[in-house]
């Protein structure tokens, strides 16, 4: 949903997230926003995903975003988490997207239509990551905040 090139690079072992200042800022928001709530939540690793804040008692996954705007990709990320939980036999889980900078939350649920869409996305993702060629640059404003910015644009100036 964001950039096929980013997906391909990450899936093919060229991860840069650990060195990105933006990711570091996101981690700080996680730690500071949840410092008093950590005992209530569990970290869950399941089916290739890692959920930082799962409220087992209420069956709610909390996903915290540092962004100052609500994004469809955030919603689909959380829907995918719900899908993975469901496929692992954990039924009735819902999600809450949290935007500490905006002081907003948004409830996320998984519909039958979403399940069908996710199956299509998985097929499309598989095609991208198994492609021989690294996809072309997206070259949109999201590049400025991407951990691959230097990799994609070293020696170039974006407009
Ligand atoms: S910098 Fe832009 S083109 Fe390069 S991977 Fe990131 S989003 Fe894609």
Instruction: Give the pLDDT confidence of 12-71 residue by residue, as tens digits.
Output: 988 766 555 656 666 666 666 655 666 789 999 999 899 989 999 999 999 999 887 778
Q: Is 103 part of a structural domain of the chain? A: yes
Instruction: Give the pLDDT confidence of 78-99 residue by residue, as tens digits.
Output: 999 999 999 999 999 999 999 9
Q: Is 66 part of a structural domain of the chain? A: yes
Residue 111 and residue 50: Cα distance in Å, rounded? Answer: 22
Sign of CA dihedral 149, 150, 156, 159: positive
Q: Ligand 1 pocket: which residues have CB below 6 Å? A: 3, 5-6, 137-138, 142-143, 146, 148-149, 152
Q: Is 14 part of a structural domain of the chain? A: no
- Scan for tokens 């072309």, then name that residue: 136
| Beta-carbon count within 10 A of 6 CB | 21
Number of domains composing the chain: 1
What number is the average pLDDT over the span 135-149? 90
Q: Say whether 150 sits in a helix, a strand or coil.
A: helix
């Amino acid at each position: 949903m964001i950039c096929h090139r980013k997906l391909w690079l990450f899936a093919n072992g060229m991860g840069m997230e650990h060195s990105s200042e933006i990711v570091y800022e996101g981690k700080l928001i996680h730690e500071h926003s949840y410092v008093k709530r950590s005992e209530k939540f569990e970290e869950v690793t399941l089916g290739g995903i890692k959920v930082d804040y799962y409220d087992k008692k209420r069956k709610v996954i909390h996903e915290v975003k540092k962004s100052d705007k609500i994004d469809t990709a955030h919603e689909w990320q959380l829907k995918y988490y719900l899908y993975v939980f469901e496929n692992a036999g954990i039924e009735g889980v819902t999600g809450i997207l949290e935007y500490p900078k905006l002081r907003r939350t948004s409830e996320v649920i998984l519909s039958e239509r979403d399940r069908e869409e996710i199956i299509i996305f998985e097929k499309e993702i598989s095609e991208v990551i198994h492609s021989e060629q690294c996809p072309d640059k997206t070259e949109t404003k999201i590049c400025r905040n991407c951990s691959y910015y230097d990799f994609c644009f070293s020696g170039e100036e974006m407009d």
